[in-house]
Homo-oligomer: A and B are copies of this chain.
Amino acid sequence: MPRPLILNDDRLFPADAEARATARRLYGSVRDLPIISPHGHTDPGWFSGNAPFANAAELLLTSDHYLYRMLFSQGLALGDLGVPSRVGPSDADPRAAWRILASNMHLFRGTPSSIWLNQVFAEVFGFEVALDGSTADFYFDRIGELLGTPEFLPRALFERFNIEFLATTESPVDDLAHHKVIRQSGWKGRVVTAYRPDPVIDAEHEDFSVALAQFGDLTGQDVLTWSGYLEAHRIRRAYFATMGATSTDHGHPTAATADLSRPDAEALFAKIVSGKASPADAELFRAQMLTEMAAMSLEDGLVMQIHPGSLRNHNRRVFADFGRDKGADIPQPTDYVRSLRPLLDRLGSEAGLTIILFTLDETTYSRELAPLSGHYPALKLGPPWWFHDSPEGMRRFREQVTETAGFYNTVGFNADTRAFLSIPARHDLARRADCAFLARLVTEHRLTEDEAAELARDLAYTLPKHAYKLDHTPIDGRLVRVG
């Protein structure tokens, strides 16, 4: 007999009755606020084309590395889960892949994936029984059926999810064709891009020289010269801004920054484009570019996001067979105190600049990130990221950050996902986790409930809008505060 699927209204709230009641009240005041999703990796093609999603496996499993990495860790083959390899698409039957997930749902107990999935199953698809081996086919069929209806087209879901703002992430050499279509379509959904220049900054990426050539073509600049290269960034940043972008995004292995003299920067750049750069050169170039990007952000107003600390593609066998982004990126210790100093020496005290820092190394919350963001006007802290986008991860973030940085040096929540359907579930989880934390502070008389209610709203809605300058309007590629 299938087990019932029930989402308790009090999920994630503290056990204590008084704290729980407070959490419930706080959450009640923010649960229906529109979703601000200023950082993520959804596909703009969904919203330009508005074609139906294919099936349960492709929509929910094959594209979600949180799920298939866990199944892989227990000895299941990526190919059987429908994950495409370097050779091409998997020939696994989507229904068979789905059954594997269904039969192994116990592996996700206690993980945020099970919270997100169950919320999607219950709230988006209306299931009342849990997914397991016995209900796998029922789920697969019912989801397939629903995906064919108008109510489950991407734009319809976007509206149903009450998303006010959704940013995707594109390379400087992306032509933003989907974003153009979205803007010209007359559809009122606000889906915009963000400028992610890693492909033309990371000289260790295998496609760097190809991307660099495209960068020159797109901008008409001689990007093999330092000045032409920087100008090309300015041009693309301004174009992204006209397409609605309010931010840039930088996914570096470390948080290293540099502030070289002009001649040193030119000499370094010459090495980079020569194709003979050493790993140390490549690292120094990424470091220098963070400072250059920050300087441009001070000019054009784009908010800068720095996501350091992931050692990408740790599993060489998986990388050889399946390529990048297959759940094999592993965090490593990350220094911010010395790494960021060159950038901060030059720009950290600029109140007109916003740099949002993320981390995969939670030891830096209380030791480095809270003291830095609690001092430098240019720094803010992004929400708990990736592996830490979870109830315990969010609790640790607030507990370790708040006493030094306060709430107002943080920026609310980022869904940061490719899994479109999970966006409301992720925001709901974040709102619940924040309200649970606030409720504890109220119960311990560290905040009044009035203060907590104001904070709940700020964390869910006001802070992300403000931090990502969604209350600003672009003028000539510069963001200017509205009202």
Contact = CB atoms under 8 A, between A and B. Distances in A.
Interface of A: 3, 7-8, 10-16, 18-19, 69-70, 72-75, 106-112, 115, 311, 314-318, 327-333, 335, 337-338, 341, 344-345, 348-349, 351, 360-363, 366-368, 370-377, 379, 387-388, 390-393, 399-400, 402-409, 440-441, 443-448, 450-451, 454-455
Given A72-B375, A387-B371, A111 B349 contact: no
A392 to B, nearest CB: 5
A-B pairs with lowest CB-CB distance, top 10? A75-B351, A11-B445, A15-B16, A8-B445, A390-B403, A110-B402, A15-B443, A15-B19, A387-B404, A331-B367
Chain B CB within 10 Å — which of A7, A72, A109, A115 has the most? A109
A440 B440 CA distance: 15
A110 B15 contact: no
B75 A406 contact: no
Given A70-B374, A314-B337, A375-B327, A11 B363 contact: no
Contacts of A379: 73
Nearest to A78: B349
Chain B CB within 10 Å — which of A372, A440, A455 has the most? A372
B374 A69 contact: yes
A318 B349 contact: yes
Contacts of A374: 69-70, 73
Contacts of A447: 109-110
Given A12-B446, A69-B374, 7 more contacts: A109-B407, A109-B451, A317-B348, A329-B371, A330-B371, A331-B368, A361-B367
Copies of this chain in the oligomer: 3
B12 A15 contact: no
A402 B402 CA distance: 24
A445 B73 contact: no
Nearest to A387: B404
Nearest to A448: B3
Contacts of A454: 106
Chain B CB within 10 Å — which of A348, A367, A406 has the most? A367
A399 B387 CA distance: 13
B106 A451 contact: yes
Given A75-B377, A448-B3, A111 B315 contact: no
Chain B CB within 10 Å — which of A108, A330, A368 has the most? A330
A321 to B, nearest CB: 9
A345 B316 contact: yes
A444 B404 CA distance: 28
Contacts of A73: 373-377, 379, 405, 409
Nearest to A349: B317
Contacts of A115: 446
B403 A393 contact: yes
Contacts of A337: 311, 314, 330-332
Contact of A109 (B329, B335, B362, B406): B406
A375 B387 CA distance: 12
A308 to B, nearest CB: 13
Contact of A11 (B12, B107, B390, B444): B444
A12 B444 contact: yes
Contacts of A327: 375
Contacts of A108: 406
Contacts of A348: 315, 317
A106 B372 CA distance: 19
B362 A344 contact: no
Nearest to A370: B387
Chain B CB within 10 Å — which of A106, A344, A348, A371 has the most? A371
A15 B367 contact: no
Contacts of A375: 69, 72-73, 314-315, 327-328, 330
Contacts of A14: 15, 444
Given A73-B376, A392-B400, A16 B13 contact: no
A367 B332 contact: yes
A370 to B, nearest CB: 7
A315 B454 CA distance: 32
A76 to B, nearest CB: 8
Nearest to A326: B375
B332 A368 contact: yes
